[in-house]
A and B are shown apart, each in its own frame.
Chain A
Amino acid sequence: KAGVTQTPRYLIKTRGQQVTLSCSPISGHRSVSWYQQTPGQGLQFLFEYFSETQRNKGNFPGRFSGRQFSNSRSEMNVSTLELGDSALYLCASSSGTPGGGYGYTFGSGTRLTIV
C-alpha cells in the first residue's frame, strides 16, 4: 500500500514568489491535514480537509491557502513568500474524520527554502 506522497521534496524560492505543494494521501483516506514544521516550533497546524471541504484552519495569514480534489489529493499554496516561510511542510492523511482516533500517516514533507 503506497504511503502519503508529497511533491516536490525540496524547493528553493525567492521572496515575493508563490509556491504550490502537492499531497497524495493513502488510497481510501479522505482526510488530509497540512502542518508547518520549523526548528523549535514543533508542528504548527495549517488546515484540514475532508471530502473536498476545509474543516479546520490554523492561525496562519491568508497567504496560505489549500484545496482538496475529488480524488482526495490536496494542494497548498503560499503567495508572496517571506523568509519566515522557510520550513518543512508536512501532509498527513487519515482514514477517519478529521481529528478522529485513526491516527495520521505523514508524508516525508516538502522542504521549502526562501532566499
Chain B
Amino acid sequence: QQQVKQSPQSLIVQKGGIPIINCAYENTAFDYFPWYQQFPGKGPALLIAIRPDVSEKKEGRFTISFNKSAKQFSLHIMDSQPGDSATYFCAASPFSGGYQKVTFGTGTKLQVIP
C-alpha cells in the first residue's frame, strides 16, 4: 500500500517536445503529490505539487494532471528544452503529515535532444 510506481524509467525527446511521466499510487491516505527534479551532483529540488481537490496544476512549462479515481498523476513538460534534462521523481504523502513518510517513485531520467 506504500508503493508509488513511476514510468517510464528513461525518456528521450527532441527540443520542443512534450515528455510525459506517469505515476500511480495505492495508499488512499495520500493527498499530497509533489514532483522533484534532480540534476547530476545535486539533491532533488521541489518542482511542483498538487492536491486531489484539483485535476490539473500549471507552473510555467510544467503541468501536473491528476486522476483521483484511477489513483494516477502525471507530469507534462511543455516546449521541453535541453536544460530540462534531469531525473524526475514523483512522490506521495498525507498532506497533514502524521509522521507517515514520503514515498518516492523510482525516477525517470529525461534527456532532451537539441
Contacts and interface: CB of A to CB of B under 8 A. Distances in A.
Tell me whether chain B's interface is mostly helix, strand or loop, or mixed.
loop
B97 A97 contact: yes
B99 A50 contact: yes
Interface in A44-92: 45, 48, 50, 55-56, 58, 90, 92
A55 B34 contact: no
B12 interface: no
A55 B4 CA distance: 21
Residue in A45, A98, A104, A108 whose Cβ sees the most chain B Cβ within 10 Å: A104
Given A42-B89, A42-B105, A42-B106, A92 B96 contact: no
Contacts of B95: 100-101
Interface in B30-88: 31-32, 34, 36, 41-46, 49, 51
A103 B31 CA distance: 13
A96 B96 CA distance: 9
Given A42-B104, A42-B105, A43-B89, A97 B98 contact: yes
Contacts of A4: 43
Contacts of B36: 104, 106
A96 B97 contact: yes
A25 interface: no
Interface residues of B, number: 27
A54 B23 CA distance: 29
Given A43-B89, A43-B104, A105 B46 contact: yes
A97 B46 contact: no
Contacts of B94: 99-101
Contacts of B32: 100-101
Interface of B: 31-32, 34, 36, 41-46, 49, 51, 89, 93-102, 104-107
14 contacts: A4-B43, A33-B102, A43-B107, A45-B101, A48-B99, A48-B101, A55-B99, A90-B44, A99-B100, A99-B101, A101-B32, A101-B49, A105-B46, A107-B43
